[in-house]
Amino acid sequence: MKKIFLALFCIVIIIPATAWSLDPVKIGMVTTLSTKAGYLGEEVRDGFRLALAQGGGKLGGIPVELVVEDDGADPGKARQIADRFIKRDKVKIMTGIIFSNVAIAVVPRVVSSDVIYISPNAGPSLLAGKGCDPNYFNVAYQNDNLDEVVGQYVNEAGFTNVYLLAPNYPAGKDHIAGFKRYYQGQIAGEVYTKLDQSDYAAEIATMRAGNPDALFFFLPGGMGINFLKQFDQSGLNRTIPVFGPAFSFDERLLQAVGSAALGVKNGSQWTHDLDNPANRQFVAAFRETYGRTPTLYASQGYDAARLIASALKSVNGDVAQLTALRTALRAADFESVRGNFTFSSNQHPIQNLYIREVVQDEAGIFTNKTLKAVFTEHSNAYVGECAMGE
Amino acid sequence: MLLVFEQLLNGLQLGVTLFLLSAGLTLIFGIMQVINLAHGSFYMIGAYVAATVTAYTGSFLLGLAVALPVTALIGMLVEMSMLRRLYHKEHVDQVLATFGLIMFFNELTRIIWGRQPLFMDVPAWLSGSIELIPGIPYPTYRLAVIGVGLLVALFLYLMFAYTRIGMQIRAGASNREMAAALGINIKRLYTLVFGLGTLLAGLAGVMAGPILAVEAGMGESILILTFVVIVIGGIGSVRGAFVGALLVGMVDTLGRAFLPLFFRLVFPAATADGAAASIASMLIYLLMAAILIWRPRGLLPAHS
């Protein structure tokens, strides 16, 4: 009797899981959940999970297993996780990276292993231009986009002497370059600060002396909170209007900045008040599930999941057909929460870009209100550099 | 000229903030010979507790009043439960243990308060700005920070020079066994000193709350500067920490403010901005190297 049980037991372990059910498609998510920037990854993950939960654990009718790992914003660690996903878990679709420097370190290895990578946030110029790849899709934005829209708006609003401020690292310089691509006026000063600097008193005093008519800054995360509070305390915010890309003005960060950010105009590809059916449904469901208003990062995670869903449905869950999967992704046949959404030839979004303003709603919560679409169906500056380009 | 004065004031303010943090760190090292990497965590705890209490009650002073004893209490608990076992071990063990504490406290704040930074505003009666010199409005809150820092410096000086407990601390620092033989309860003294050190870190955190982002890991970005301060000032010396902090605050601020202007006189604008930013962020480390070459034990070493 014992032997029979033992034999049965052995058989049970040997039989692969497929015997009982269809193997779910594994999706590997490498994202940043720890460090100061941990809330960014949390937003992307929660947005993605919401789409998965709405499909009852399926995307496009195909059962999906989402594996989430924290990279701690560390390129080396992210590479190890990606290797493990590819070699051990045999993942065929990956997503999740928040930071551009992490993406640059990880994405080329992923796509050269015939794994699809869908970026829900980072959009470095390298991966849009020379380093573009048929297996790399960006469902969020090309990094420069959110600065380009502000540059154009600042022109239209008639400012001619703008002061620029960004941290001294590659992304800081990219964002300033994006702004300058459309801004035509004079530059009152261009200051690069130490990465992770906390005190901006010296820069603010120098800025006052430079007497600009507006300020454009890119200081993501805690740096932006520090700067905005100190800028407000200096009293300069009453005389110098502030502009920037959305990264210092997401709905979670704004609660930590408080009234110091009121009235700031910032550029984004999405806001929770965009009026389309997909978005209304998403914002309501997100609020109900997580008890907070989604940020742009959450919308990007959600769109990434829905893009994957559309492609999985099209290939009927067979992720081994790489060419068919790519073609299905390129079609972008899903309802984006941003409304119109197509891919450019370097597989980055062609989408509307908006200017929005930081306001306080009736409940006293600080949030963004869309003012106008400055660009409609805007692509990116690197299409020509990409060998896949037309 | 007005700009120079304003930047000097900014430098003084940064220096005073650094002093609040480095005084506690150098006190703990000078007296207990413990390298406490987790000092930044107590700074963070101070800021988090104050931000939470202020958000609930609307009173900054109440936030301050709760945050200080809570930070000191947590510090003393850590000393009694953990550090006490490490006094006879090597510095590497202490560094590893206190580094572990950093991770523990960062994760704990994430569990309790979530991943998103907290909000803490300047109290209404300290908001706005004062024109010390016509044409240059200076934020009142920053002046208050300078005032608090100078008061703490005065308090520490008086305590060490004139009080019984100050005398006991000095005795414990120069000869532990002898002090114990004379009837000083060294164990209790160490716990008190550690509590005082963490209380000062907590105070620095509370004062920084309205100016900076209150977020997990906020202590680490300032911890490196703090170590530079105590190395320059002479490890273990509170007076050294005061001088070192003001020096670092001034050099850092003035470098950031005026290097780009000087560089623009020599180089084309685009090169000048990048180069000035890089050199400005290196400046305090260059200062530290120069001072260590000149005086290897720092400006005002503790036991000289």
Q: How far does the CA of residue B102 sit from the closest CA of chain A (Å)? A: 12
| Host H or E run for residue A51 | helix A38-54
Q: What is the pLDDT of residue B159?
A: 93
Query: What part of B 271-300 touches A (C-beta under 8 Å)?
Result: 273-274, 277-278, 280-281
Q: Which of A35, A194, A209 sits opposite B281 (nearest CB)?
A: A194
Confidence (pLDDT) at A58 = 94
Q: Tell which of A174, A195, A198, A365 to mutate to test the B interface (max B CBs under 10 Å).
A: A198
Identify the CA nearest to A163 among candidates A200, A198, A197: A200
For residue A384, is it within any domain?
no
How many structural domains compose chain A? 2
Q: Please tell me what DSSP assigns to residue B214.
A: B
In a domain, B30, yes or no: yes
Asked if residue A280 belongs to a domain, the reply is yes
Q: Please check whether residues A311 and A264 belong to one and the same domain.
A: no
Asked whether the predicted pLDDT for residue A8 surpasses 60, the reply is: no
Report the alpha-carbon distance of residue A33 to residue A30 in Å, rounded: 9
Q: Are strands A25-31 and A93-95 parallel, antiparallel or unpaired?
A: parallel
Query: What is the enclosing helix (H) or strand (E) of A278?
Result: helix A277-290
What is the total count of domains within chain B? Answer: 1
The amino acid at A251: E
Question: At A7, is the pLDDT very low, low, confident or very high (cuts 50, 70, 90)?
Answer: low
| B218 and A CB contact within 8 Å | yes
Average pLDDT score over residue span A182-205: 91
Q: For chains A and B, what is the number of CB pairs under 8 angstroms?
A: 120
What confidence tier does A389 reach under pLDDT thresholds 50, 70, 90?
A: low
Residue B30 structure tokens = 């000078």
> What is the structure's pLDDT at B127?
87
User: A371 and A231, same structural domain?
Assistant: yes
Closest CA of chain B from A249, distance in Å: 13
Model pLDDT, residue B131: 85
Q: Are residues A161 and A85 in the same domain?
A: no
What are the chain B neighbours of A193 within 8 Å (beta carbons)?
A: 256, 277
Same domain, A169 and A133: no
B17 part of a folded domain: yes
Q: What angle in degrees, to the nearest 10, is found between the helix axes of B164-174 and B186-208? A: 110
Tens digits of pLDDT across chain B (304 residues): 778 888 999 999 999 999 999 999 998 988 888 889 999 999 999 999 999 999 999 999 999 999 999 999 999 999 999 998 888 888 899 999 999 999 999 999 999 999 889 999 899 999 888 888 787 788 999 999 999 999 999 999 999 899 999 988 888 888 888 888 888 888 899 999 999 999 999 999 999 999 999 999 899 888 989 999 999 999 888 999 999 999 999 999 999 999 888 888 888 877 787 788 888 889 999 999 999 999 999 998 876 4
Structure tokens belonging to residue A246: 């959305």
Is B108 part of the contact surface with chain A (CB cutoff 8 Å)? no
pLDDT at B147: 95
| Burial class of residue B25 in the structure, from the number of CB atoms within 10 Å of its CB (0-12 exposed, 13-18 middle, 19+ buried) | buried
Q: Helices B39-57 and B218-233, interaxial angle, to 10°?
A: 130
**pLDDT bracket for residue A352 (50, 70, 90):** very high
Q: What is the pLDDT of residue A14?
A: 52
Provide the ipTM. 0.88
Same domain, A137 and A215: no
CATH of residue A56: 3.40.50.2300
Judgement on whether residues A45 and A180 belong to the same structural domain of the protein: no
Task: Decide if A2 is inside a domain.
Answer: no
Contact A39 B116 (CB under 8 A): yes
Residue contact A202–B254, C-beta within 8 A = yes
Asked if A205 and B137 come within 8 Å (Cβ–Cβ), the reply is no
Per the structure, the complete domain to which residue B56 belongs is given by 2-294
Look at strands A116-119 and A136-138 and give their pairing.
parallel
Q: Bigger pLDDT: A191 or B132? A: A191
Domain assignment present for B34? yes
Residue B302 within a domain: no
List all residues of chain B from 149 to 208 with a beta carbon under 8 Å from chain A. none
Contacts of B23 (CB under 8 A, 6+ apart): B152, B153, B156, B197, B200, B238, B241, B242
Give the mutation candidate from A31, A33, A36, A46 for the B interface (greatest B CB count, under 10 A): A36
3 state SS of A215:
strand
Name the band, by pLDDT with cuts 50, 70 and 90, for residue A18: very low
Distance from CA of A350 to the nearest CA of B (A): 31
Question: What pLDDT was estimated at residue A17?
Answer: 43
A255-292 per-residue burial string, b: 16 or more CB within 10 A, e: under 16: bbbbebbbebbbbbbbbbebeeebbeebbebbeeebeb
Residues of A in contact with B217 (CB under 8 A): 35-36
| B116 touches A252 (CB < 8 A) | yes
Are B139 and A235 a contacting pair at CB < 8 A? yes
Q: Which amino acid is at A222?
A: G
Query: A119 forms bridges with which residues in the sheet?
Result: A138
| Position A168 confidence tier, pLDDT thresholds 50, 70, 90 | confident
Bridge partners (DSSP) listed for residue A93: A27, A116
Domain contains B300: no
Closest-CA residue of chain B to A225: B213
Q: In this predicted structure, what is the pLDDT of residue A19?
A: 40
- Cβ under 8 Å to B: A residues 123-152: none
Same domain (yes/no): A103, A182: no
Is A115 in the same domain as A251? Answer: no
Nearest to A120 by CA among A66, A161, A84, A159: A66
Question: Of A373, A346, A387, whose CA–CA distance to A142 is shortest?
Answer: A346
How confident is residue A174, by pLDDT bands cut at 50, 70 and 90? confident
Query: Cβ contacts (< 8 Å) between B215 and chain A: which residues?
Result: 36, 222, 225, 256
One domain for residues A219 and A361: yes
Could you list the residue range(s) of the whole structural domain that residue A175 is in?
145-268+355-378
Decide if pLDDT at A159 tops 70: yes
Tell me the pLDDT of chain A averaged across its residues: 91
Could you tell me where the DSSP H helices lie in chain B?
2-32, 39-57, 60-81, 91-113, 140-162, 164-174, 176-181, 186-208, 218-233, 238-266, 269-294
pLDDT at residue number A16: 45
- pLDDT per residue as tens digits for the range A89-105: 999 999 999 999 999 99
Strand partners, A143: none
Q: Is the domain of A262 the same as that of A203?
A: yes
At B194, which CATH number?
Answer: 1.10.3470
- % of chain A at pLDDT higher than 90: 81
For residue A88, count other CB atoms closer than 10 A to its CB. 8
| pLDDT on residue B177 | 84
Which chain B residue is nearest to residue A188, measuring alpha carbons? B269
Identify which of A277, A272, A278 has the alpha carbon closest to the alpha carbon of residue A294: A272
User: Is A6 a residue whose pLDDT tops 80?
Assistant: no
> Is the pLDDT confidence value at A20 over 50?
no
For chain A, say whether B220 makes contact (Cβ under 8 Å): no
| pLDDT digits 0-9 by tens, A240-287 | 999 999 999 999 999 999 999 999 999 999 999 999 999 999 999 999
Say if residue A255 is in the same domain as residue A370.
Answer: yes
Is residue A188 less than 8 Å (CB to CB) from chain B? Answer: no
The verdict on A256 and A372 lying in the same domain is yes
- A-proximal residues of B, 233-262, CB under 8 Å: 253-254, 256-257, 260
Average pLDDT estimate for A292-304 = 96
Can you tell me the distance from the alpha carbon of B145 to that of B156, in angstroms, rounded to the nearest whole number? Answer: 17
Best of B44, B116, B145, B273 to substitute, by most chain A Cβ atoms within 10 angstroms, is B116
Q: What is the per-residue pLDDT for B235?
A: 86
Question: B10, A198: Cβ pair inside 8 Å?
Answer: no
Is residue A186 within 8 angstroms of chain B, CB to CB? no
Whether B47 contacts chain A with CB within 8 A: no
The pLDDT of residue B31: 83
For residue A290, is pLDDT > 90? yes
Percentage above 70 pLDDT, chain A: 94
Q: Which residues of A297-319 are buried (b: 16+ CB within 10 A; e: fewer)?
A: bbbbbbbbbbbbbbbbbbbebeb
CB nearest to B3's CB, from A42, A209, A229: A209
Burial environment of residue A224 by CB neighbours within 10 A (0 to 12, 13 to 18, 19 or more): buried
Residue B299 resides in a domain: no
In angstroms, the separation between the Cα of residue A301 and the nearest Cα of chain B is 17
Predicted local distance difference test score (pLDDT) of residue A194? 87
Q: Which residues contact B123 (CB under 8 A, 6 or more apart)?
A: B59, B60, B61, B210
> Do A36 and A42 form a contact (C-beta atoms < 8 A)?
no
Residues with Cβ within 8 Å of residue A220, at least 6 apart in sequence: A37, A247, A248
Would you call A36 an interface residue with chain B, using a CB distance cutoff of 8 Å? yes
pLDDT on residue A36: 83
Chain B environment of A33 (Cβ under 8 Å):
115
